[in-house]
Amino acid sequence: MNSNDRVLVIAAHPDDEVLGCGGTIARYRAEGCDVRVVFMAEGITARFSPSEFDTDAVKEKSAKRNADALEAMTVLGVNTDQVFLSERHCCRLDQVPLIELTKQIEDHIREFSPTHMFTHAPDDPNIDHVTVHKAVLPAIRPIKGQHLRGVFAFEVLSSTEWNPLKPYAPTVFQDITDSITQKIAAMQKYESEIHPPPHPRSPEVLQALARFRGAQAGLDYAEGFVLIRGINL
């Protein structure tokens, strides 16, 4: 990790980025690295029927979730002009042509020239999460001129752990001992998504997971990732 690193986070919904790599984002920003966060969908409409999508109540909830995302990114030190929101409906990304999602990701790679990328794991039960992973893979194909040195998959509590047949097994760990407080504070900006324990999106469980991932790597607190591709790491 050095100040020349450029980090691109491709997340399905607002809050996935904090749950998946919020502590790591904060660390990169503390080192002076540029970070861009791209959301491929909004995070509310899965809870409503399509007939309700255009109602004022649902629109307000979606707008609030997006506003929460900007506040959360501010906590982590990400400039709001590097946060890209989406109006695609939640948990319906599988209905979008994959090429459309891939080309959007390619545009960000071409414009931002990231050295590191973080995105969803392939065996996540959430349809949007796994669709984003599938869209990322062709976007990161190793072509001349690409600057990516490391591409990593993250876990999202309250989703990734719901696949007991293919449990998430991180191979790379990032020390977030100095940023676990920021991660939890950022998650608390998502007022509709934070819950009391034992819910996975409670501050206590977020801290417990970071403690466990840290123990796997001999650290106080860590986030665990699966390396998709690495070059000269």
Residue 147 has what pLDDT? 86
**Whole-prediction pTM:** 0.97
Residue 122, domain member (yes or no):
yes
Residue 177 has what pLDDT? 98
Residues 119-136: what's their mean pLDDT?
98
Residue 144 has what pLDDT? 81
* Side chain identity, residue 130: V
Segment 56-83, tens digit of pLDDT: 999 999 999 999 999 999 999 999 999 9
Residue 196 has what pLDDT? 96
Kindly report the three-state secondary structure assignment for every residue of the chain: CCCCCEEEEEECCCCHHHHHHHHHHHHHHHCCCEEEEEECCCCCHHHCCHHHCCCHHHHHHHHHHHHHHHHHHHHHCCCHHHEECCCCCCCCHHHCCHHHHHHHHHHHHHHHCCCEEEEECCCCCCHHHHHHHHHHHHHCCCCCCCCCCEEEEECCCCCHHHCCCCCCCCCEEEECCCCHHHHHHHHCCCCCCCCCCCCCCCHHHHHHHHHHHHHHHCCCCEEEEEEEEECCC
- Which has the closest alpha carbon to 120: 32, 210, 17? 17
Segment 147-167, tens digit of pLDDT: 899 999 999 999 999 999 999
Residue 199, domain member (yes or no):
yes
CATH of the domain at 95: 3.40.50.10320
Residue 3 has what pLDDT? 84
Give the chain's domain count. Answer: 1
Residue 1, domain member (yes or no):
no
Mean pLDDT across the chain: 96
Residue 170, domain member (yes or no):
yes
Residues 160-176: what's their mean pLDDT?
97
User: In this structure, are strands 150-154 and 172-175 parallel, antiparallel, or unpaired?
Assistant: unpaired
Q: Which domain holds residue 126?
A: 6-230
Segment 182-227, tens digit of pLDDT: 999 999 999 999 999 999 999 999 999 999 999 999 999 999 999 9
Residues 116-142: what's their mean pLDDT?
97
The most confident of the ranges 53-62, 140-149, 169-178 is 169-178
Residue 143 has what pLDDT? 85
Segment 41-57, tens digit of pLDDT: 999 999 999 999 999 99
